[in-house]
Amino acid sequence: MTIVWTVATVAALVALYFDRRIFSFCAVPSAVGALVLSFFVDPLWQILSFIFIYVIFFIPICIYLKPFAHEGGRYGDVVGETCVVTVELDNFAGRGQVRVKGQIWAARSVADEDVYDVGEVLHIVAIDGVRLVCRK
């Protein structure tokens, strides 16, 4: 019985590693469910069913969904992009908003003395907390 648990643990760790590297934790709920159920049924059948479901269902679904996984959700994705000023950027007044990839972000300019009017196109050079740092 211990050899089956060792194989189950190794299989779960390998699946978790590849899932994180390739599919962004798409199959983690299945892995957790398989491990929990393995306490109640024969672990060998549980391992085999997990591998079958993982290969047949989750891998193709994750490959299909991967391009949509982090659309607009990762902060680093906007650095280097261009944005349009929607609310005047003025560091001294403490206001400014820009639109990038269809989302509105709080923003500030690189230099405190720079003021940008609505409609100007800027480049995002960094992220400072929750604000984008922009320049012409």
Rounded to an integer, the average pLDDT of 58-74 is: 61
Domains and CATH numbers, the chain: 2-68 (no CATH), 75-135 (2.40.50.140)
> What pLDDT does residue 87 have?
93
> What pLDDT does residue 39 have?
66
- In tens, the pLDDT along 15-65 reads 666 665 555 555 566 666 666 666 666 667 777 777 777 777 766 766 776
Residue 122's contacts (CB-CB under 8 Å, 6 or more residues apart) are 82, 83, 84, 85, 89, 98, 107, 109, 116, 134, 135, 136
> What pLDDT does residue 84 have?
93
Burial 34-64 (b: 16+ CB within 10 A, else e): bbeebeeeebeebbeebeeebeeebbeebee
